[in-house]
Amino acid sequence: MGWLDALARAATVSVPTPVSARDGSFVTEATTDGVHGSRLCAVFAWIDGEPLEDHLTAANLERAGEAAALLHEHARTFPVPTGLSAWDTPFPYGEAVVLFDPEHSSSLTDHELSVFLAVREATGAAIARLVEAESPRMLHADLHEHNLFVDGEVVRVLDFDDSMPGWPAQDLSVIWFELADHDDIEALMLALRRGYERVAPWPERVPGEIALFAANRALHLANYVVQDHDPAYRARAPELVRAWAQRGARFLEETGP
């Protein structure tokens, strides 16, 4: 919330503006009859626009790339709050790592299991390289076509609830993963890069780094779905894990030898 407030004040990229309570805080603890326990509540100013998913053009991907770079450049000087878990593991959201337990790994083919194991190993090495090279900064961490809104010639960024410290290549890997099945993915990603480089250098330290982190998204989503609290979503785990293993394998091929 502090980063969102700072971004809104800087006004270099359009984000939801937090609305403070009377005491100046951005988060209020609330209780009500019929609801067990308390809830942490926040209010934001309205954001206009429609999801980028419905307006996937090269021009809009360039604007999305520019918006991503503006976020990353702002985060370069924003102090990372203490106590936040960083994206310094292949499983960044803190859930138990169960995908490789016999209960779940037995349903994987040998190829699927080998893909996920290779992604885990390669991602760990890539993160170690980043940790040594520079300090993490705040990321959106869920930067994809549903969380980017198009309003005329402006791309707005919303849904910061997954934000965590990390490295820009990880942020860009999310949209790379989510758009991977589009026929014109190469043109879209080139447009994203053009927009990004209008603001900042492309953040890959080695070729294929973003593709590797896109493969990492396949890994942690697979690990997440097999233990999701929603039984309807969890029931789709075999289908989704199989699809994500295939996508992870494609991304691994892009990382080179």
Ordered by start, the domain boundaries in the chain are 49-254
Q: How many Cβ atoms from other residues are within 10 Å of residue 59's Cβ? A: 13
Dist CA 27 CA 1 (whole Å): 8
pLDDT classification of 224: cutoffs 50, 70, 90: very high
Dist CA 149 CA 145 (whole Å): 8
The yes or no reply on domain 49-254 and CATH 3.90.1200.10 is: yes
Contacts of residue 50, defined as CB under 8 A and 6 or more positions apart, other chains included, come to: 149, 150, 151
Q: What is the pLDDT of residue 256?
A: 65
pLDDT in tens, 57-110: 999 999 999 999 999 999 999 999 988 999 999 999 888 999 999 998 888 999
pLDDT in tens, 102-150: 998 888 999 999 999 999 999 999 999 999 999 999 999 999 999 999 9
Average pLDDT on 151-164 reads 96
Q: What is the pLDDT of residue 257?
A: 56
pTM: 0.93
Asked if the model's pLDDT at residue 34 lies above 70, the reply is yes
Dist CA 224 CA 130 (whole Å): 24
Q: What is the pLDDT of residue 51?
A: 97
pLDDT classification of 208: cutoffs 50, 70, 90: very high
How many Cα atoms within 13 Å fall on the side-chain side of residue 202?
15
- How buried is residue 168: exposed, middle or buried, by Cβ count under 10 Å (0-12/13-18/19+)? buried
